Amino acid sequence: MRYPINIKADGKFFLVTFPDIPEAITQGKTQEEAVKVAAAALETALDFYFEGSRAIPLPSRVKKGQEFVELPTSVAAKVLLLNEMIRQKVRPAELARRLRTTPQEVNRLTNIRHTSRIDGIANAMRALGKTLEVRAI
C-alpha cells in the first residue's frame, strides 16, 4: 500500500500532507527530511483510525513522479483486516470466538504498533470469509 504525499515549501519548512489521510500532516527542514518523517506521521494518523474503529481510506493512485509512503506489509494487512471487520460489523470479541482465541489476541492483530505474524492476520481474514494474498511484483 503506497499512500501518495504532497510536499509544499512553506517558509523555512517543507509541509507534507496525505490526500487520502487528512489527519496525517508533518514537515521537515528539507524535502528529504520531510519525506522521511512522513512515514511516522502516517502511522500516527492510522493509530487514530484503529483506536476509533474507523475504516481507513485506501490509498489513491500515485501519480508519475509523486512521492509516497509505503506501509510495511504487516501494517497493510492490518489495515485490510480492520476495514473488513468494520465492513462486516464484526467486533473483536466475535472474531475471537470465530478464531477460538481471546479478544486480547484479536486486539493485538488490529494494533499497528504490535508486531503480528502475517499468518495470524491471514487466519483472521479467513474467519471473515476473505483470503489475504501477498504478491511480488
Q: What is the pLDDT of residues 61-99, one digit of tens each?
A: 999 999 999 999 999 999 999 999 999 999 999 999 999
Same domain (yes/no): 85, 38: no
Split into its structural domains, the chain has a count of: 2
CATH number at residue 12: 3.30.160.250
Q: Are 3 and 75 in contact (CB under 8 A)?
A: no
Q: Is 104 a domain residue?
A: yes
Same domain (yes/no): 66, 77: no
pTM value? 0.89
